[in-house]
């Protein structure tokens, strides 16, 4: 075997480590993602630099960045790393049962209310899959943080990701019987200006609500004394009679059925979104990813999810 081929084989095991360090921006997050120690990551990078005879990374106590040589190496290493993943996915597609570690990122409320009950059922059907789920209302870097799937709602600006529709996302304006008894039930949209309107921080516009009737849009300016970045916290304030709020039906549905919340202006619709499963674009979809997405669509109920029934 030539020296060049031998060097390539020795370095191949370091490529996933190097690419992960470059993607995550540090030894610690790379070690966590790879499931090895930080010292093992550092040692593997040092060995790779010694074998190549170049410095790949600038290291400081606060920051890690690629050198010029590191940038060039990364462009080729990333392709090699992806090719290895594709090869692995191509093989696993031939296996009868999906398997392996599946990392999922989900918004907090949707994850707790609907993914948490789904996952035990999924794992019973696919016992060879292990799941690492992280719930966070902030949008994460899917590739950089090593997630296989992210659950997202609404607009998907990242064109490098592939999306599969899981379910529609409807919203409903609602209040508690206690609040309506004390402050009255608004019968005209304009009357909302007289009420305490509670809002979700990550809404596109926290100062107005849009209503749709017969393809006609009407926007109402609102004001209130509470905004929060979690739908379940918003639900709690509405149920406690603090004010009127807009909630996704996957949060409000059970409370409306139980009479704890009263839907308002049912003759109108509020702008709808879609709940997606998004994943990095790859030549071969991993069997574990396909299995989870297909299962979720079946579990939620497709175009009419169970929380809207």
DSSP labels, 22-77: HHHTSHHHHHHHHTS-HHHHHHHHHHHHHHHTS--EEE-SS-EEE-HHHHHHHHHH
Angle at 134 between CA 204 and CA 302, to 5 degrees: 65
Which pLDDT score, from 0 to 100, does residue 2 have?
45
Which pLDDT score, from 0 to 100, does residue 233 have?
95
**Burial letters 71-83, b for 16+ CB under 10 A, else e:** eebbeebbeebee
The bridge status of strand 100-106 relative to strand 129-135 is: parallel
Q: Which residues of the chain have pLDDT under 50?
A: 1-12, 94
Which pLDDT score, from 0 to 100, does residue 93 have?
55
Angle at 175 between CA 267 and CA 136, to 5 degrees: 100
Give dist(CA 296, CA 121) in Å, integer.
Answer: 10
Q: Give the pair of three-digit tokens for residue 124.
A: 């019973």
Give strand pairing partners of 200: 228
Q: Are 243 and 237 in contact (CB under 8 A)?
A: yes
Which pLDDT score, from 0 to 100, does residue 268 have?
95
Give dist(CA 185, CA 65) in Å, integer.
Answer: 58
pLDDT in tens, 94-147: 455 788 899 999 999 999 999 999 999 999 999 999 999 999 887 778 877 888
Give strand pairing partners of 100: 129
Which pLDDT score, from 0 to 100, does residue 94 have?
47
Give strand pairing partners of 132: 103
The bridge status of strand 227-228 relative to strand 273-280 is: unpaired
Query: pTM higher than 0.75, yes or no?
Result: no
Give dist(CA 246, CA 136) in Å, integer.
Answer: 20
Which pLDDT score, from 0 to 100, does residue 86 have?
65
Which pLDDT score, from 0 to 100, does residue 91 have?
62
């Amino acid at each position: 075997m030539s020296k060049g081929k031998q060097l390539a084989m020795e370095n191949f095991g370091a490529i996933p480590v190097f690419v992960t360090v470059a993607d995550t921006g540090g030894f610690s997050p790379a070690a966590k993602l790879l499931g090895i120690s930080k010292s093992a990551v550092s040692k593997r990078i040092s060995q790779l630099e010694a074998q190549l005879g170049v410095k790949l990374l600038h290291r400081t106590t606060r920051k890690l960045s690629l050198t010029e040589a590191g940038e060039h190496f990364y462009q080729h290493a990333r392709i090699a790393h992806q090719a290895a993943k594709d090869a692995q996915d191509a093989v696993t597609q031939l296996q009868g049962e999906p398997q392996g570690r599946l990392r999922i990122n989900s918004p907090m409320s949707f994850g707790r209310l609907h993914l948490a009950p789904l996952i035990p059922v999924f794992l019973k059907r696919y016992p060879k899959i292990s799941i690492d789920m992280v719930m966070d209302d902030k949008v994460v870097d899917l590739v950089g943080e090593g997630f296989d799937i992210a659950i997202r709602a609404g607009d998907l600006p990242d064109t490098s990701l592939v999306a599969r529709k899981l379910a529609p996302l409807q919203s409903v304006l609602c209040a508690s019987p206690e609040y309506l008894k004390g402050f009255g039930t608004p019968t005209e949209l304009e009357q909302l200006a007289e009420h305490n309107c509670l809002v979700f921080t990550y809404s596109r516009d926290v100062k107005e609500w849009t209503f749709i009737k017969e393809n006609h849009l009407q926007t109402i300016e609102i004001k209130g004394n509470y905004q929060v970045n979690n739908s379940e916290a918003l639900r709690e304030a509405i149920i406690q009679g603090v004010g009127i709020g807009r909630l996704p039906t996957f949060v409000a549905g059970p409370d409306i059925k139980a009479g704890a919340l009263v839907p308002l202006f049912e003759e109108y619709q509020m702008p709808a979104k879609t709940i997606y499963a998004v994943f990095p674009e790859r030549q071969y979809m991993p069997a574990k990813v396909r299995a989870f997405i297909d299962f979720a669509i079946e579990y939620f109920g497709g175009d009419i999810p169970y929380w809207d029934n």
